Amino acid sequence: MTETGWLLTRKRNGDVRGQDFRGLTKLGKLTESKHWEAANTLLMFHQEQAKKLEAGGFYFMAAVALGAALETALLSFFLIEWDEAHGEAEIPDKVTLDDLILAAKQLDLLNAVKFQEASNTHSVETVIREIQWMRNNLHPAKALRQSFDPSSFDAAQYGRLRDIYGAVMDNLLHHI
């Protein structure tokens, strides 16, 4: 299990255990689907990249990898849930992180577990876009329009995004 973010591992009996960097554990049940193995592998890759980049002090690039993990987690959740309810789904040609966040909000998937800071508690719906905003700054035009300097993104800012990501995953696993 990784220390940063969630890593889902399938056990032989079909249970899925997710463990985050805070040591929280959740159990869920996933059905076998053609998307599960590939989605899990991709999610693990992005989470591991975020962990390596963070360890190397490359916080902006770690945030970009975390954004990719977020998009993978949301898409995977929808594909697996669709497969469970309706049979195997085709992966859409065009889907954006914005589309996935909107769908998660419409299905009320982001309110079960709150994001907690030292002095505040927030609905995940109100903070999830911080990961998206940071990931989108990978695009030079967006970064220039917003006067974003990736070299100023530090460990504390990344830690906040990592904690938001953990809360998103807590919410998704709550619905499995």
pLDDT at 92: 75
Angstrom distance (rounded) from CA 115 to CA 39: 25
Alpha helices of 56-149 — where are they, by DSSP H? Answer: 59-86, 97-106, 124-136, 140-145
The answer to whether residues 8 and 50 touch, using CB atoms and an 8 Å cutoff, is no
Amino acid at site 76 = S
Collapsing DSSP states into helix, strand and coil, what is residue 14?
coil
pLDDT at 117: 85
pLDDT means per 10 residues, the chain with 176 residues, are: 30 35 29 67 93 97 95 87 66 85 89 86 90 92 94 95 93 83
The answer to whether residues 165 and 131 touch, using CB atoms and an 8 Å cutoff, is yes
176, 166, 156: which is closest to 54 by C-alpha?
Answer: 156
- As given in the structure block, the two tokens for residue 145 are 């329009």
Buried b (16+ CB within 10 A) or exposed e, 38-68: ebbebbbebbbbbbebbeeebbbbbbbbbbb
64, 69, 70, 66: which is closest to 143 by C-alpha?
Answer: 64
pTM of the model: 0.77
